[in-house]
Amino acid sequence: MAAQKRACDACYKRKIQCDWEAKHPRCDWCEHQDLSCTFDRVRGRRKGRKARVVETAAARDSHPSQSSLGKRTEEEPAQVPFLVTGQPNPHKLFLQAHDSRSPSSTHSPSSRDHVSYAHINYDGCHFGHLSHQNGMPILTEEGRRWISSRAGEDVSFRKLQPQPRRYMKHQFLADDLCKGSPSIYALPEKSLTVKIFDVFIHSAFSMVFPLVDKDLFRETLALAYESQFEPLSIECVSAKACVLAFVSSARLFSERDTPLPNLDSERCAAQARHLLSCTADEATLTSLQACVMLTLYETSTGRLQSGTTFHAVACRMVFGLGGHTRLPPKHITTRSDRERRHIRILFWLCYIIDKDTALRTGQPPLMSGEYCDLTLPDGYDECYTTYLPRLHDKVPLSDDEAFTPHLPEDPRLSHLKEKVSRRLYSAQAVKKTNAELLRDIRELDEELEAWRLSIPAIFRPALSISNKSRVDVGDCLPRSMTHIIMHLGYHHVMTAIHRASSRCISGADAAADAEEWLPGVKSSMALALEASRSTLVYLRAAIRGVAGEAFWMIIFYPTHAMMALFCHILMDPLNPDVEQDVALLASTAELINILPIQRLTSHELAHIELVTEFVAELCYLSRKAIAKATAEYEHRQAL
C-alpha cells in the first residue's frame, strides 16, 4: 500500500516537498468550519488523465484562501457546525450500489440512472421521486426496502401514491361547452372587474408579478365588455379570456383590510381555459397575459401539472412575440413601445417560472438561455436599494412610468438554476466521470457564492441558519417575501448543487482512486444536508412574513428538506446531533399547519393533512431506526 503523505493539492500535483503544517494548517473544509484537520492524501499510482484531473469539493487546486469556502470564511463564519465525517462509522450500512455503466450489474438501477433533481438519491441509493401532482415523495420499492432495513419496520406510504384524476367542479360548465352556450362568454359585472383591477395596480403584488400593463389592460377591458353579440372576432374572444383569467387570479392579490366580494374563480378560470383554446392559433399580448395568469392560478390552487401546461404555452407565445430578444425602449413614447416593454416583462416572468419548474420537477427547461438576451431590466439592482427599502403594502407603483418590476426572483439566480439543471441533472450529466461531476459542483458552488455576495446585505441570504440566528424579515409583506424567497431559493440551489455529489458513491468501492475524492464527496453531501436544515429553521423563524397566497409556492421547500433530513437520520442514526434533527423534522408538521393561508380550500386542507401524517410517519421511523442502531451497538459492546 502506498505511504500516506500530508500535502496540499498544489504541491502534490507539482511533485514538490510540502510543509503542510507550516504553510497550510488546515484544508479548506476544516478551515471553513474551524475544526482540527485530519486530512491525509493517499499517494497512489498514476492512472493517466483520470488521475490528473480529479478534483474534489474539499481539496481545491488553489490555496485555501482563494477557494469558494475560503472566501466565505473571510466574510462571515457559518453559524451551525456542519456534519464532518472523520473516522469511518462502524454502524454505517453498506449499500449495494453498482455503477449503472457496468454491464455486469444485475441489481436494480443505481443513482446514475436517476439524475433528475426531482429524484431522491442519497448516498448511492435511489429512494424515489417527487410527484408532479403535489410535490410529495413517491418512494421506490428499493427505497422502501432500505427504510425497512434501517428502521426494522415495514413501510408502504400508500397515502402518497398518486390520487385518481379529479372531476371538473362545475359540471354545468362542461354542459355549456358541449352545447356551445353563449354563457361561456359571460363576464363578471364590469364594476367588479374594475374594482379588482384598481386593487391590483395599487398593490405591491403588481411589483412582483406585473401581470398586466395598466393602460393596455384598460383597452382590453373595453374590448371585452363592448363586444356582446356574435359572431365575435378572435381579438374579442382573446380579450374575454384575458379578463376572465385576470379575475380568477384575484385571490392572489386581494387586500386583507378590504377583501373583494366573493366570486367564482374556478368558473372564470374554466371559461378562460376554453376561450384560449379557440385563439391558440395566433400569439398575441392579450393571450400571452391570459396564459401567464392561468399558470399562476393553477399553481396557486395546487394543480401543479396543469400549471406547467399553461406555462409551456406561455413560453411558446413569448418566443413568438420576440420577448426573448427584443429589448424594450428606455423611454415609452408610443403604444408599440408599451407593448414591447410589457412583452419583455412577461418574458422575465416566464423565464423565472421555467427555471424553477425545471429544477423542481426534473423536466427539461423550455427556455434555453443560449437563445435569450438576458440583459437585466434597466435599474433592476435599484430595487434592492431604492424601491424595496421604502416599500409598504399599498403603494401606487404603477403610476411611475420609469418603474422597474422587482419580479418574484432574481433573474441571475434563475440563470444559475438553468446551469445546475443542465450540468448536473441532464442526460449528458449521466455520462460524466466523478472528477468531471465534482469539478462542475465546485464551479457552480463558486458561482452561487458570487451571486450571494452581489446581493445587498439587507437581503443577502445567510450561509447557514441556526436556532440562535436572528431572522428579521420586517413587517412589510413585499419586503418580507423578497427576504424569504431569497433565502429559500439560495438554500434550494445549494442543496441541488451539492446533492448531486451523492451519485459518486455509486460504485465507489470499486474505484481505485476513491480514497482520493471520497472525502470531498462527503463534505459536499454535508453542505446539502446543512442547506436542508437551514431551510426548515429559517422558514420557522420567518413564518409570519409569508404571504397567504404563496402556500403552494412555499410548501415545496419544507417537503423536500425533510426528506433529506430523514435520509440522513436513517443513514447515521448514532450521530451526536440526531436527536436535534428528529426534533427539527417533527417541527415541520407544525410549521406547515401554521402557514398563513387566507382561504383554505378542501384541496389545501387535504394536502396539509397528508403532509402532517407523512411527517409523523417519518419521525416514527426515525426513532425506530435510532433505537435499533443503539441496541445493536450496545449488543456489540457487550460481546
Cis (ω within 30 of 0) for the bond into 109?
no
For residues 506 and 557, the answer to whether their CB atoms sit within 8 Å is: no
Give the pLDDT mean for 139-166: 72
What is the average per-residue pLDDT within 580-589?
Answer: 91
Grid cell 424553477 — which residue?
356
Determine the pLDDT at residue 604. Answer: 77
Q: How far apart are CA 236 and CA 284, in angstroms?
A: 12
Q: Does the pLDDT value for residue 422 go beyond 90?
A: yes
State residue 366's pLDDT score.
94
The span from the CA of 167 to the CA of 477, in Å, is 36
At 629 the pLDDT is: 94
If you average pLDDT over residues 71-81, what whole number do you get?
36
Asked if the model's pLDDT at residue 484 lies above 80, the reply is yes
Of 132, 135, 87, 83, the C-alpha closest to 531 is 83
pLDDT tens per residue, range 506-532: 654 445 566 667 788 888 989 999 999
Closest of 534, 622, 554 to residue 594, by C-alpha: 554
Give the pLDDT confidence of 310-339 residue by residue, as tens digits: 999 999 999 999 999 988 888 888 999 999
CA pair distance 263, 258, nearest whole angstrom: 15
Span 477-482, average pLDDT: 76
- What does the pLDDT average to over 389-412? 65
Mean per-residue pLDDT for 352-361? 92
Tens-digit pLDDT profile for residues 430-476: 888 888 999 999 999 999 999 999 998 888 999 988 877 777 766 66
Residue 406's alpha-carbon distances to 188, 344, 376, 391, 520, in angstroms, are 30, 13, 11, 12, 38
Q: Distance between CA atoms of 141 and 537, rounded to whole angstroms?
A: 31
Cα–Cα distances (Å) from 636 to 94, 631, 632, in that order, read 17, 9, 6
DSSP designation for 154: -
Pairwise CA distance, residues 223 & 253, whole Å:
24
Question: What's the mean pLDDT in 205-233?
Answer: 87
Q: Is the pTM of this model over 0.85?
A: no
Averaged pLDDT for residues 12-20: 51
- pLDDT for position 336: 93
Who wins on pLDDT, 534 or 595? 534
The pLDDT, as a whole number, for residue 259 is 66
Nearby residues of 22 by Cβ (< 8 Å), 6 or more positions away: none
Q: What is the pLDDT of residue 33?
A: 45
Among 94-98, 413-417, 506-510, the range with the most confident prediction by mean pLDDT is 413-417
The confidence band for 109, taking pLDDT boundaries of 50, 70 and 90, is: very low
Percentage with pLDDT > 70 across the chain: 67
